[in-house]
Amino acid sequence: MSLEEIRAFSSELLAAYARNGAPRSLVIDLQQRRLARLLEVARGTRAYRDLHRLRDAPIVDKARLMARFDDHVVDGRPSRVHAFAFLGQARPGALLDQRHIVTTTSGTTGEVGVFVVDAPGFARLRATVFARIFRGQLRPEGFALLLRRRYRMSFVVALGGHTMTAVLALRMPRIGGIVADVRALSIDDPLPLLVASLNAAPPLLLHSYATVLEVLAHEALRGRLRIQPEIVTAGSEPLTQQARAVVGAAFPGAALVETWGATEHVGLATACPLGHLHLNEDAALVEAVDADDRPVADGSWSERVLVTNLLNHAQPLLRYRLDDRVRIEGTPCPCGSPLRRVEIVGRTDDVVYLDDGRGFQVHAPIPFEIALLGVPGLLQFALVHEEQNRLRVSIVIEEGADGVVVADLVCERLERYFADHGLTPFVSFVIEETATLSRHARSKKLRQITSRVPRPTGNTLVPAAQRRRHSPEQSS
């Protein structure tokens, strides 16, 4: 088995790396061949027994997939019962029946999802991501050498459950020290211990959640964390402007690479050296669709996406619905990649809808982040929309900074933000200082912007910036 996995990983790594600069037609050719093979494999399931074309595949979401679990796995294996029992007993990253990787979603959106992928397919998926992460770092000759030197990587992630990040961190060492020396560090460890572990074996590649990278970057700026990674990769959470700036300052020699993945597909997109996310079209088909699952044009924002995982031959995922809003760019990126660019919103942060007395304004997370960007002494913040137009802002203060001064600055910035949007008389907020921000119990993701207020219905929604242009005269 593991030899097959190593072979799949190595060959896909080199081939996918070569495709970084290949003509688009070659990528599309491969995509279509992989799709044809996937459909053939999918006919081995009860759900897709008679399926011939992707467009005839019914749209699947997590609830449907979980309800009909046994129908969606090839040859009916592993069964739902078998997979759930395995999750209860096995360590994350272990193989079920010597051939299947099993992962679960965090359950942030309702029911927990359980996903199965064949080990070679999983190896190819992650190889594709690595090939994109290493793009621009090495020439092809150097890249071949990479396979022969032990490249040290550290994953600082939640290791408790069978989440995709835990499996990614823990599965790699079992692929063998041939490809890399991979360390998995738990974000539940106290910070001084994490710093000491990283210092003891400095990684060339450091992977974590964006907010954790931010914390580690501050440790580096204070001189406690002494590593010089070549590559820093961020996943699972949006990479905020603030995180980008701090990580850049702390690790000036490193390329900071953002990734977009899901439990259902580990490598949907990877950022290019210019910082644009590109779809991994050789491993996935991503359809941007509206609320009725109809395709939206390139350059328009979708309501959600339909993902077809081209490399999972155990539980074929065809036109699987994810709630991410994306915008796919049809024109080529100046970086020269044959893969299309994609922008994503709403990955973990919520959109906040604020009532300005005439209707609801839509506030995306990024403007809030920018409003609080560069407040001296502010380490992290979390904003919760608790009741309609009432917000709570939790702030974490940098060591040695004055909490009262920082809170005043945050207050000033937010007041200005709401005044700019004509919301001053309508919106109230409280600021509280806290030692740490709480993470989601299972996923350990930190949500910077959370809304507990239901999304308003009707046609009264206006993007905040647009509303501001049309009604400039309302600030106090």
What distance in Å separates the CA atoms of residue 155 and residue 165, rounded to the nearest whole number? Answer: 9
Start-to-end C-alpha separation, the chain: 68
Indicate the residue among 123 and 328 with the shorter CB distance to Zn ion.
328
b/e for 185-210, b at 16 or more Cβ within 10 A?
A: bbbeeebeebbeebeeeebbbbbbbb
Identify which range of 10-18, 49-57, 302-310, 325-333 contacts Zn ion by CB under 5 A: 325-333
CB of 151: closest distance to Zn ion in angstroms?
24
| Binding letters toward Zn ion, positions 258-297, x by CB under 5 A | --------------x-x-x---------------------
CB of 339: closest distance to Zn ion in angstroms?
8
Identify which range of 148-156, 326-334, 342-350, 395-403 contacts Zn ion by CB under 5 A: 326-334
Indicate the residue among 21 and 295 with the shorter CB distance to Zn ion.
21
Coil, helix or strand for 399?
Answer: coil
Going from the C-alpha of 99 to that of each of 125, 255, 446, the distances in angstroms are 15, 34, 33
CB of 33: closest distance to Zn ion in angstroms?
25
Indicate the residue among 190 and 334 with the shorter CB distance to Zn ion.
334
* Among the listed residues 333, 366, 396, 462, the single contact to Zn ion using CB under 5 A: 333
Indicate the residue among 275 and 472 with the shorter CB distance to Zn ion.
275
CB of 81: closest distance to Zn ion in angstroms?
45
Listing DSSP states for 286-353 in one string gives EEEE-TTS-B--TTSB-SEEEEEETT--SS---SEEE--EEEEE-SPPTT--SSPEEEEE-SSSPPEE
CB of 136: closest distance to Zn ion in angstroms?
10
Identify which range of 43-51, 156-164, 333-341, 409-417 contacts Zn ion by CB under 5 A: 333-341
What distance in Å separates the CA atoms of residue 321 and residue 266, rounded to the nearest whole number? Answer: 15
Coil, helix or strand for 186?
Answer: strand
What distance in Å separates the CA atoms of residue 113 and residue 163, rounded to the nearest whole number? Answer: 10
If binding is defined by CB under 5 A, does position 335 make contact with Zn ion? yes
CB of 331: closest distance to Zn ion in angstroms?
11
- Pairing of β 100-104 and β 114-118: antiparallel
If binding is defined by CB under 5 A, does position 339 make contact with Zn ion? no
Residue ranges that bind Zn ion, judged by CB under 5 A: 272, 274, 276, 333, 335, 337
